[in-house]
């Protein structure tokens, strides 16, 4: 079902994937108002939107872009936004997303990922939006054996508090469609990498540590397998689903780039001219899924989407980006940007 848009709500748009999506969307759709709602927790960084992109313009200088600091669980605040802007669609990126943090403190993940999603669905129901796109993850499927791939009909079997919260949000999106006719769709993507990813994640952590000649930690035996996709390829898929996806459908998004964690770590170190002596095996995380792999044939056939970058190209671009944007990640590590944005948006 194709859709004509005048304004969209992007939640979690100051995060890694959300900020990349906003950049891509504004570059391609110059007549659509984009409203970014983000709570600006530790991983939300408005500097990801203030730097100039391919167009030579920063997102926050674009008159079609508007930012609001707020919580998706705050129903009165969300309702006021819907009343002010009359959104045609919602793309829900907002989520606590780090597995390790979910093990240490699962409550926040339930509050944001489950209750926050329910709040958005309820307000979307009240205002009668045309499309609600829930951005999910391959982790809701659990862990694969040595062969096979996740399809959209694979049984959900999450193994961490994070993935359980995302699976719960997916089920809420399905329920609000079936019970209340909220026009929901779901995308589930493999591991993303690329510019503006928070430094605690695996690939940026490796790059940043290697730049500083620090140890590169690898969980367990390093044989866990992940299926990687460059973030802008994922954002192109989200755009395709938003405009042309079918209500009620789930779309898996991946790039068929399976690689063992230890193999990936050695590849990054080699490309950066660093010794493998920096590798350090650390205690494995509880419930660590062994292997992910996505079957993306549905979105490739139905919507004619395909990833544009090879894994080699994407890794080279990513390493170069972190080398060229040292100030960005150093400000995050030091915590400088958090204090700045807390003051700038206090009470908004």
Cβ atoms of 90 and 131 closer than 8 Å = yes
CATH number of 144's domain:
3.40.50.720
Active-site residue (options: 47, 138, 227, 232)? 138
Does residue 217 sit within a domain?
A: no
Active-site residue (options: 139, 227, 232, 233)? 139
Q: Which domain, by its residues, includes 192?
A: 7-196+229-256+291-309
CA distance 35 to 17: 15
DSSP 8-state assignment for residue 80: H
Does residue 264 sit within a domain?
A: no
Express each pLDDT in 128-182 by its tens digit.
999 999 999 999 999 999 999 999 999 999 999 999 999 999 999 999 999 999 9
Active site residue 139: yes
Does residue 212 sit within a domain?
A: no
Express each pLDDT in 73-96 by its tens digit.
999 999 999 999 999 999 999 999
- What is the count of structural domains for the chain? 1
Three-state SS at 187: strand
Active site residue 141: no
Q: Per-residue pLDDT averaged across 107-124, rounded?
A: 97
Nearest CA among 26, 31, 41 for reference residue 345: 41
Express each pLDDT in 15-53 by its tens digit.
999 999 999 999 999 999 999 999 998 888 899 998 765
Does residue 320 sit within a domain?
A: no
Active site residue 193: no
CA angle (157, 166, 97) in 5-degree steps: 115
pLDDT attached to residue 60:
85
Does residue 305 sit within a domain?
A: yes
Does residue 23 sit within a domain?
A: yes
Active-site residue (options: 65, 68, 141, 162)? 162
Does residue 267 sit within a domain?
A: no
H or E segment to which residue 218 belongs: strand 216-219
Does residue 285 sit within a domain?
A: no
Residue 160 token pair: 């961490």
Residue 347 token pair: 């009470």
């Amino acid at each position: 079902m194709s859709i004509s848009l005048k304004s969209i709500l992007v939640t979690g748009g100051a995060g890694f994937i959300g900020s990349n999506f906003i950049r891509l969307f504004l570059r391609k759709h110059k007549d659509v108002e984009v409203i970014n709602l983000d709570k600006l927790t530790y991983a939300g960084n408005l500097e990801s939107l203030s730097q100039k992109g391919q167009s030579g313009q920063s997102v926050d200088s674009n008159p079609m872009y508007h930012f609001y600091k707020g919580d998706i669980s705050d129903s009165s605040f969300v309702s006021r936004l819907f009343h002010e802007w009359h959104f045609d669609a919602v793309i829900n990126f907002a989520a606590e997303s780090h597995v390790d943090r979910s093990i240490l403190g699962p409550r926040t993940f339930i509050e944001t990922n489950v209750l926050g999603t329910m709040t958005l669905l309820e307000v979307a129901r009240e205002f009668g939006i045309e499309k609600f796109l829930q951005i999910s993850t391959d982790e809701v499927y659990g862990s694969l054996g040595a062969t096979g791939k996740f399809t959209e009909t694979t049984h959900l079997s999450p193994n961490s508090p994070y993935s359980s919260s995302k699976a719960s949000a997916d089920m809420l999106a399905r329920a609000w469609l079936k019970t209340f006719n909220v026009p929901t769709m779901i995308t589930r993507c493999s591991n993303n990498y690329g510019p503006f990813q928070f430094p605690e994640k695996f690939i940026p952590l490796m790059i940043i540590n290697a730049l500083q000649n620090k140890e590169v930690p690898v969980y367990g035996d390093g044989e866990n397998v992940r299926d990687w996709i460059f973030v802008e390829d994922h954002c192109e898929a989200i755009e395709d689903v938003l405009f042309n996806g079918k209500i009620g459908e789930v779309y898996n998004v991946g790039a068929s780039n399976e690689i063992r964690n230890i193999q990936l770590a050695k590849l990054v170190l080699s490309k950066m001219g660093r010794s493998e002596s920096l590798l350090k095996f650390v205690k494995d995380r509880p419930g660590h899924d062994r292997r992910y792999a996505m079957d993306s044939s549905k979105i490739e056939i139905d919507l004619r989407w395909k990833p544009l970058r090879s894994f080699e190209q994407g890794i080279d671009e990513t390493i170069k980006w972190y080398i060229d944007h040292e100030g960005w990640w150093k400000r995050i590590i030091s915590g400088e940007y958090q204090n700045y944005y807390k003051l700038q948006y206090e009470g908004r």
